[in-house]
A and B are shown apart, each in its own frame.
Chain A
Amino acid sequence: NAGVMQNPRHLVRRRGQEARLRCSPMKGHSHVYWYRQLPEEGLKFMVYLQKENIIDESGMPKERFSAEFPKEGPSILRIQQVVRGDSAAYFCASSLGTVRSNEQFFGPGTRLTVL
């Protein structure tokens, strides 16, 4: 039973390029969450999605960042025109989303480095 999968594990981009981070939730999970972790800090919520819907994007910067979770395929976090401050570890978590079972399970993360 595979856990949450994220790829790539490491991503290097130059300033101004685009970064695409992918997340495949655990089997049977239809809820996906994206978090960002700066070095030596806790995780900060970015966005919460269900299939084809953004439920809560209150933690996501208004510009350059977008997320989707299509009917088929992984969830994608997209960062356009990256800047050095975007360098961080990005973690995806998934859950069943039911009231009785809403634990979030995390993937291994994508470490983005912007040169």
Chain B
Amino acid sequence: GENVEQHPSTLSVQEGDSAVIKCTYSDSASNYFPWYKQELGKGPQLIIDIRSNVGEKKDQRIAVTLNKTAKHFSLHITETQPEDSAVYFCAARTGANNLFFGTGTRLTVIP
């Protein structure tokens, strides 16, 4: 099955700086890559996703890049704010079924 690895496990940045989280996947058939933000005591919230026919996608301060050849994808958050502090999960999906999640990155934005 699919194996998703995520780095770093923890990340601290100063408010206003950028944060980058990286993931790799193993199954070349994976074609959908969402990113979720999980705040303490809550369920994961979809923040951005990318499909395998696209190399980059941006939504305001959040962007995701995908390198199919290298089988890795990254989340970029610019101009970070304290409310961006949370645990972020990447995931990959083959076909139309279940998601395989990375182990999460705990992002702390220091005011």
Q: Do A and B bind each other?
A: yes
A residues within 8 Å of B by Cβ? 4, 6, 33, 35, 40-45, 48, 55-56, 59, 91, 97, 99, 102-109
Contacts A6-B43, A35-B101, A40-B104 supplied; 9 other A-B pairs, CB < 8 Å: A42-B102, A42-B103, A43-B44, A45-B100, A102-B96, A103-B46, A106-B36, A106-B43, A106-B45
Task: For B60, list chain A residues within 8 Å (CB).
Answer: none
Total contacts A to B, CB within 8 angstroms? 52
Complex Cα distance A115/B18, Å?
43
Q: How far is the CA of A103 from the CA of B100 in the complex (A)?
A: 13
For A40, list chain B residues within 8 Å (CB). Answer: 104
Distance in angstroms from B84 CB to nearest chain A CB is: 19
Chain B contact residues, CB within 8 Å of chain A: 6, 32, 34, 36, 42-46, 49, 89, 96-104
- Specify which chain B residues have a CB less than 8 angstroms from the CB of A44 in the assembled complex: 101
Interface of B is mostly: strand
Residues of A within 8 A of B100 (CB): 45
A56 neighbours in B (Cβ, 8 Å): 97-98
Give the chain A neighbours of B104 by CB distance below 8 A. Answer: 40-42
Task: Please report the C-alpha to C-alpha distance between residue A103 and residue B32 in the assembled complex, in whole angstroms.
Answer: 9
Measured CB to CB, the nearest residue on chain B to A4 is B43
A106 touches which of B44, B49, B96 (Cβ 8 Å): B44
Complex-state Cα separation, A59 to B100, whole angstroms? 11
Contact yes or no, B43 A91, CB < 8 A: yes
- Return the chain B residue nearest A6 by Cβ: B43
Tell me if B101 and A48 are in contact (CB < 8 A). Answer: no
Partner of B96, one of A41, A45, A99: A99
Q: How far is the CA of A1 from the CA of B70 in the complex (A)?
A: 40
Chain A residues whose C-beta falls within 8 Å of the C-beta of B36 in the assembled complex: 106
